[in-house]
Amino acid sequence: MRSRPSDPRARNRTPKALAVPALGQKPDRPPATMPPPVPVALLSDDADLHQIRDALDHAAHAGLARLTGGLSPAALTAAYMDWAVHLAISPGKQLELAARAARKGTRLVQFASLCALDGGVCEPCVEPLPQDRRFAGDEWQRWPFNVIHQAFLLQQQWWHNATTDVDGVTRQHEAVVEFVSRQILDMAAPSNFVATNPMVQRRILETGGRNLVQGFHNFLDDWQRIVRSKPAVGTEAFQVGRDVAVTPGKVIYRNRLIELIQYAPTTDEVRPEPILIVPAWIMKYYILDLSPANSLVRYLTDQGFTVFIISWKNPTAADRDLGMNDYRKLGVMAALDAVNAIVPGRKVHAVGYCLGGTLLAIAAAAMARDGDERLQTVSLLAAQADFREAGELTLFINESQVHFLEDLMRSQGYLDTRQMAGAFQLLRSNDLIWSRLVRHYLMGERTPLNDLMAWNADATRMPYRMHADYLEQLFLDNALAEGRFMVDGRPIAVSDIRAPIFAVGTERDHVAPWRSAFKIHLLADTDVTFVLTTGGHNAGIVADPDQPGGRFQILTKSATDRYRDPDTWTRIARWHEGSWWPEWARWLASHSGKPTQPPSSGASSRGYRVLCDAPGAYVLQP
């Protein structure tokens, strides 16, 4: 992490900690960030002046951040200015764009003419991208809507050419301009408007306009739920502890940050090495314990494993000072101590999902550095340890954006659920924003929720200090991959981990791209088994074997094998039909001892008594 200035005039980003409320008690309001007015004449020295300046700047930035959804206007302006200036001084690029515009205009005129002669239906002059389903209906292939959507696609192509490959523009600025321009174009897509969407017009004729009335009711319902902080429509059918997160278990440990759940065995004997699952702190743990037919936890217990899982507390302003090291100590290490007390003398299969995998890699590297050999294996599911190519999430991760976001979190004490959800939705705006708005408000329909979608609506917050540590040390500095991440005052290295690693990447992951997850091969000096599976960040991991359609590739690299790049790996790794879960269960079994009697729930004599039934109390916190 970058060194911070020691000058007393330097900006103080760490507010004083607040008292932690009891479970279920509402936290006190965070202290005001704006000091009382002080006459300039009374400012005795520069330190006072800097303190007032800092408070004023913070208040202004935090207020502006609420209006922009956390996006820094300075970062966006810098990106567009970089692009605009370099485009303005590039006559060759301008000439190329003018020629492309003329060619696309000619193609569109020819297409429209052919459609007029052939009765309105003809071959398109441009095809949408494979993942773009906005214009897939038959109605879009008839006059005049075929010309309308073809004109939009040609314009979309032109703007992609205009915002990319401009000499001199920095790589990140180019990516930001292309991304933001694409979002603006998606807002103006003809599929989003009644006058240019033939499917909506047909629906109006079929229902006599009742779809628009129902859509307006849907809009009012959604708006009221947002204002009242109520869950999305349909989530009531997936109540935690009744419909999802129902695998039998007990909470056997609780601290201010986690509850640890131990699940009941479903087999007469179990493998002697228990499994400890570390979910991401930005999600409710039950994504891995959804409905009984879609639960990874239940699947593992049915395979004869003793399973423990961390359930993170949903932080409030009172937890603003909890940082990365607190999550490691109070989370991973505290849970590992509890597992060792309940299953003494046995090593542990450690599993981390998403950011939980990153945290597990940090903990495992620190343990390896210190000679702690309690881990039998390490499994990293859609997790990253190197953040140089962390996908489109990195577009807005720079000094300007991080400082702007820190001001917002500093005033709140945490990053709000809506602010995080909005960022993830922008990565797939066509699927998660515009297509849903068309369906809900123009078509007058509701998208039926499944257990995964209901979980996705049950979002969590993130403490100020934790998120600041995460953005600065991992995204900005890439300190973990480069051996500069500090734990207890000393750096750690992923290469110190000697436990075998099982890593999973998903083909359509917008959060942890599989090529980024694949970099574990470059960081680890141990056996690495890597799986590339179909699906996205969540659906690719929640891959119940009874659900058809899944495929995956798998290949093991021993510690002595030479490195294979991702493209070579995909060419030689064998394809397998179905879910990757059974392959993982076999891998875990191959690194486990012979089955034995299941352990008891908790260990009262060692201070880990049963506190309550799963799913516990923390997962129910709003």
DSSP 390-445: -GGGGGG-SHHHHHHHHHHHHHHSEE-HHHHHHHHHHHTHIIIIIHHHIIIIIS--
Rounded Cα distance, 314 and 618, in Å: 7
Average pLDDT, the chain: 87
- Residue 427 in this model has a pLDDT that exceeds 70: no
Rounded Cα distance, 410 and 413, in Å: 5
Give me the percent of the chain exceeding a pLDDT of 70: 86
Q: Peptide bond before 144: cis, by omega within 30 degrees of 0?
A: yes
The pLDDT score that the predictor gives to residue 32 is: 42
The pLDDT score that the predictor gives to residue 548 is: 81
Question: Which of these is catalytic: 115, 122, 125, 354?
Answer: 354
What is the mean predicted confidence (pLDDT) over 208-228?
91
The pLDDT score that the predictor gives to residue 593 is: 96
Q: Tens digit of pLDDT for each residue in 261-276?
A: 999 999 999 999 999 9
Q: Are 289 and 245 in contact (CB under 8 A)?
A: yes
The pLDDT score that the predictor gives to residue 6 is: 40
What is the mean predicted confidence (pLDDT) over 581-592?
97
First to last CA, the chain: 33
pLDDT band at 220 (very low <50, low <70, confident <90, very high): very high
pLDDT band at 233 (very low <50, low <70, confident <90, very high): confident
What is the mean predicted confidence (pLDDT) over 482-505?
96
Residue bearing the bigger pLDDT, 391 or 138: 138
Rounded Cα distance, 258 and 251, in Å: 10
Burial 594-604 (b: 16+ CB within 10 A, else e): eeeebbebbbe
pLDDT band at 424 (very low <50, low <70, confident <90, very high): low
The pLDDT score that the predictor gives to residue 39 is: 52
Tokens of 394: 């990195």
What is the mean predicted confidence (pLDDT) over 173-196?
92
Rounded Cα distance, 502 and 583, in Å: 11
Q: Please tell me what DSSP assigns to residue 470.
A: I
Amino acid making up residue 325: N
Neighbours of 130 (CB within 10 A): 6
CA dist 28 to 19, 181, 317, 416, 509, Å? 8, 42, 8, 17, 38
- Bridge partners, 463 (sequence order): 414
Q: Please tell me what DSSP assigns to residue 330.
A: I
Tokens of 450: 């499944």
- Residue 428 in this model has a pLDDT that exceeds 90: no
- Whether 115 is a known active-site residue: answer no
CA dist 176 to 81, 259, 384, 423, 470, Å? 12, 39, 22, 14, 21
Q: Tens digit of pLDDT for each residue in 437-474?
A: 999 999 999 988 889 888 988 888 888 888 888 888 99
101's enclosing H/E stretch is helix 91-117
Q: Which residues contact 14 (CB under 8 A, 6 or more apart)?
A: 321, 465
pLDDT band at 25 (very low <50, low <70, confident <90, very high): very low
Scanning 319-380, the segments in alpha helix (DSSP H) are: 324-326, 334-342, 355-369
What is the mean predicted confidence (pLDDT) over 306-335?
94
The pLDDT score that the predictor gives to residue 2 is: 42
Angle, CA of 332, 386 and 161, to the nearest 5°: 135
The pLDDT score that the predictor gives to residue 616 is: 96
Tokens of 101: 């515009």
Rounded Cα distance, 269 and 503, in Å: 27
The pLDDT score that the predictor gives to residue 106 is: 94
pLDDT band at 235 (very low <50, low <70, confident <90, very high): confident
Q: Are 290 and 279 in contact (CB under 8 A)?
A: no
- Residue 5 in this model has a pLDDT that exceeds 80: no
Residue bearing the bigger pLDDT, 474 or 251: 251
pTM of this prediction? 0.84
Tokens of 439: 């369906």
- Residue 308 in this model has a pLDDT that exceeds 50: yes
Burial 107-121 (b: 16+ CB within 10 A, else e): ebeebbeebeeeeee
- Residue 31 in this model has a pLDDT that exceeds 70: no
Q: Are 525 and 495 in contact (CB under 8 A)?
A: yes
Highest averaged pLDDT of the listed ranges 64-68, 238-242, 527-531: 527-531
Rounded Cα distance, 411 and 31, in Å: 9
CA dist 393 to 65, 396, 455, 469, 522, Å? 18, 7, 21, 16, 22
Residue bearing the bigger pLDDT, 507 or 472: 507
The pLDDT score that the predictor gives to residue 594 is: 96
- Residue 417 in this model has a pLDDT that exceeds 70: no
Q: Which residues contact 316 (CB under 8 A, 6 or more apart)?
A: 21, 27, 413, 414, 461
pLDDT band at 420 (very low <50, low <70, confident <90, very high): low
What is the mean predicted confidence (pLDDT) over 110-134?
83
Q: Are 164 and 182 in contact (CB under 8 A)?
A: no
Amino acid making up residue 254: R
> Hey, what domains does the chain have and what are their CATH numbers?
77-203 (no CATH), 251-387+487-620 (3.40.50.1820)
The pLDDT score that the predictor gives to residue 57 is: 74
Q: Please state whether 576 falls in left (phi above 0), alpha (psi between -120 and 50) or beta.
A: beta
Rounded Cα distance, 391 and 514, in Å: 9
The pLDDT score that the predictor gives to residue 29 is: 41
- Residue 33 in this model has a pLDDT that exceeds 80: no
What is the mean predicted confidence (pLDDT) over 533-551?
91
Lowest pLDDT segment from 17-26, 260-269, 408-417:
17-26
